[in-house]
């Protein structure tokens, strides 16, 4: 019995030391390695970058612009607060602005002494110099409001006298109060006009515009109107038909078209030769939900009456040139991503629509920009943008985000195993 047991132990020992034992160990090790590899590769995200395909096509139509009733004996331009200058009818020469230039005066004063909408500002005490300014304008048959030594006006009251009554003497009083002298004021405006982009505008020897050396173009005047109406203080003042100033009394606006044809401002002007200029702002209700502020100018018409009449004709004809466009609708598909580990694509859709009122022949285009994506991107994530751009590609007139409609499906284990270089 003992001999038999000894023999069996030797046989088992021989089996464990045989090549079979080595094969078994290799097989088990290999199985463990494979299992670890499978587990590891299953946990990894593919490095594959999904590139977009844009399917959106620009649907903006460009109908011919209807004729605008331009002045026959003056230069003119028209635009909006949103889009700037849209069209112009100009001679290529600068013309006297008359009192329209007082808007530059007002902007300059507010640049030096800003006001909040509920503020009256510092007090200006009238001096003998200011009385002399008044007398000088009376002698030159200029528009003026009487003042006396020691009289006090707040900054806002002075601006009201400047822009509502168009008081020439108050213009010069304001600039000498704010800048010390007209010469210093002109030094400032040489810089300030360039800052405002009014490169064709020049200031004469006074701040009122009575001097015919205050000159500009109709297009620059539209730019000036847009800037002025963006200033809440000026927009409020030029919209008033009258106001009561203590020590002066009730004053009435020279802009007698306020309240008609949607007109909410801005400024009239008459020069030495009785030629008239008119810069206007009109609130145009395009539809129940769409409003826009049209800014127009008529420069150096035969008279102020003619300037206003031609401005109204121009405004009426210009309104026909605004149209509503909808280049992209909400949830519209604008592109897709092809998923390499499946037979499907995932759509890119507009989060919101773009609907705008624009000038008929505006050179606008809709540009879709989509990002490259990783395989883990979830549905609803922003993946790009749609922009309504002008011809310069710099100014956007509307935009919306692009989102992924659905989740990008996860790759199968088999795909990962068969595409190891896309995983590691």
* pLDDT tens, residue by residue, 407-416: 988 887 777 6
Dist CA 216 CA 214 (whole Å): 7
Its pTM stands at 0.80
CATH number, position 88 = 3.40.710.10
Pair (311, 386) in one structural domain: no
- Percentage of the chain exceeding pLDDT 90: 66
Q: Note whether residue 257 is domain-resident.
A: yes
What is the predicted pLDDT for the residue at 17?
57
Interval 167-195 mean pLDDT: 96
Count the domains in the chain.
3
Pair (234, 331) in one structural domain: no
Interval 87-99 mean pLDDT: 92
Q: Note whether 170 and 134 are within 8 A (CB).
A: no
The helix (run of H) or strand (run of E) holding residue 331 is none
Question: Tokens representing 323?
Answer: 């149209």
Question: Tokens representing 234?
Answer: 């000026």
Interval 204-219 mean pLDDT: 94
Average predicted confidence (pLDDT) for the chain: 88
Q: Note whether residue 68 is domain-resident.
A: no
Identify the weakest region by mean pLDDT among 18-32, 96-110, 256-270, 352-366.
18-32
Interval 113-119 mean pLDDT: 94
Pair (167, 301) in one structural domain: yes
What is the predicted pLDDT for the residue at 421?
59
Interval 15-39 mean pLDDT: 67
Q: Note whether residue 67 is domain-resident.
A: no
- Tell me the HSE value of 172 on the side-chain side, using a 13 A CA sphere: 26
Q: Note whether residue 70 is domain-resident.
A: no
What is the predicted pLDDT for the residue at 416?
66
Asked which of 318, 337, 370 is the last residue of a domain, the reply is 318
Asked if the model's pLDDT at residue 149 lies above 80, the reply is yes
Pair (361, 254) in one structural domain: no
Interval 393-414 mean pLDDT: 85
Pair (270, 381) in one structural domain: no
Pair (27, 56) in one structural domain: no
User: Is residue 283 very low, low, confident or very high in pLDDT (cuts 50, 70, 90)?
Assistant: very high
The CA–CA distances, whole Å, from 205 to 97, 171, 186, 190, 249 equal: 13, 12, 8, 13, 29
Dist CA 396 CA 386 (whole Å): 10
The residues that bridge with 239 in the sheet, in sequence order, are none
Pair (86, 206) in one structural domain: yes
Pair (235, 362) in one structural domain: no
What is the predicted pLDDT for the residue at 358?
85
Smallest CA-to-CA distance from 78 within 386, 354, 295 is with 295
Q: Note whether residue 132 is domain-resident.
A: yes
Smallest CA-to-CA distance from 78 within 320, 309, 362, 298 is with 298
What is the predicted pLDDT for the residue at 6?
46
What is the secondary structure of 4-23 as a DSSP string? HHHHHHHHHHHHHTSHHHHH
Asked if the model's pLDDT at residue 287 lies above 90, the reply is no
Pair (219, 107) in one structural domain: yes
Q: Note whether residue 30 is domain-resident.
A: yes
Domain that holds residue 391: 52-62+326-422
Pair (6, 130) in one structural domain: no
Pair (154, 219) in one structural domain: yes
What is the predicted pLDDT for the residue at 360?
82
- For 20: left if phi > 0, alpha if psi spans -120 to 50, otherwise beta; the answer is alpha
Pair (339, 282) in one structural domain: no
The count of other CB atoms within 10 Å of the CB of residue 318 is 24
CATH number, position 349 = 2.60.410.10
Question: CA 366, 369, 371 angle in degrees (round to 5)?
Answer: 165
Q: Note whether residue 69 is domain-resident.
A: no
What is the predicted pLDDT for the residue at 40?
58
What is the predicted pLDDT for the residue at 75?
96
The CA–CA distances, whole Å, from 398 to 16, 59, 388, 395 equal: 80, 15, 5, 9
Dist CA 147 CA 119 (whole Å): 23
Q: Note whether residue 409 is domain-resident.
A: yes
User: Is residue 147 very low, low, confident or very high in pLDDT (cuts 50, 70, 90)?
Assistant: very high
Q: Is 283 exposed, middle or buried (0-12, 13-18, 19+ CB in 10 A)?
A: middle
What is the predicted pLDDT for the residue at 14?
53
Dist CA 173 CA 313 (whole Å): 36
Asked which of 291, 318, 345 is the last residue of a domain, the reply is 318
**DSSP-based three-state secondary structure for 364:** coil
- Tell me the HSE value of 222 on the side-chain side, using a 13 A CA sphere: 26
Smallest CA-to-CA distance from 390 within 414, 415, 410, 362 is with 362
Tens-digit pLDDT profile for residues 226-270: 999 999 999 999 999 999 998 889 999 999 999 999 999 999 999
Asked if the model's pLDDT at residue 213 lies above 60, the reply is yes
User: Is residue 169 very low, low, confident or very high in pLDDT (cuts 50, 70, 90)?
Assistant: very high
């Amino acid at each position: 019995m003992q001999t038999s047991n000894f023999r069996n132990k030797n046989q088992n020992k021989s089996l464990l030391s045989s090549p079979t034992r080595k094969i078994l160990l290799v097989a088990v090790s290999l199985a463990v390695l494979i299992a670890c590899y499978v587990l590891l590769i299953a946990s990894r995200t593919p490095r594959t970058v999904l590139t977009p395909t844009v399917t959106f096509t620009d649907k903006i139509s460009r109908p011919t612009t209807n004729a605008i009733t331009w002045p026959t004996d003056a230069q003119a331009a028209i635009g909006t607060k949103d889009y700037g200058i849209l069209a112009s009818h100009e001679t290529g020469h600068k013309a006297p602005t008359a009192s329209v230039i007082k808007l530059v005066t007002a902007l300059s004063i507010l640049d030096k002494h800003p006001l909040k909408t509920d503020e009256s500002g510092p007090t200006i005490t009238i001096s003998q110099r200011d009385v002399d300014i008044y007398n000088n304008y009376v002698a030159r048959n200029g528009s003026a409001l009487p003042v006396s030594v020691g009289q006090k006006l707040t900054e806002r009251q002075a601006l009201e006298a400047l822009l509502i009554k168009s008081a020439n003497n108050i213009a010069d009083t304001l600039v000498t109060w704010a800048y010390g002298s007209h010469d210093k004021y002109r030094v400032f405006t040489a810089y300030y006009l360039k800052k405002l982009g009014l490169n064709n505008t020049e200031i004469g020897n006074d701040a009122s515009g009575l001097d015919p050396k205050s000159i500009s173009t109709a297009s620059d005047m539209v730019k000036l109107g847009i800037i002025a109406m963006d200033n809440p203080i000026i927009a409020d003042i030029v919209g008033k038909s009258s106001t009561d100033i203590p020590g002066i009394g009730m004053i009435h606006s020279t802009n007698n078209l306020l309240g008609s044809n949607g007109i909410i401002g801005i400024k009239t002007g008459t020069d030495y030769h009785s030629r008239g200029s008119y810069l206007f702002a009109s609130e145009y209700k395009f539809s129940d939900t769409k409003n826009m502020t049209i800014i127009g100018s008529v420069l150096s018409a035969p008279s102020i009456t003619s300037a206003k009449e031609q401005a109204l004709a121009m405004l009426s004809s210009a309104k026909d040139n605004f149209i509503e466009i909808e280049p992209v609708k909400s949830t519209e598909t604008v592109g897709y991503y092809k998923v390499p580990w499946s037979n499907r694509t995932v759509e890119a859709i507009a989060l919101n629509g773009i609907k705008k009122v624009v000038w008929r022949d505006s050179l606008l285009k809709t540009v879709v920009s989509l990002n490259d994506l990783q395989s883990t991107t979830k549905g609803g994530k922003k993946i790009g943008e749609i922009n309504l751009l002008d011809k310069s590609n710099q100014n956007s007139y509307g935009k919306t985000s692009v989102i992924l409609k659905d989740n990008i499906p996860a790759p199968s284990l088999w795909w990962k195993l068969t595409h190891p270089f896309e995983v590691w």
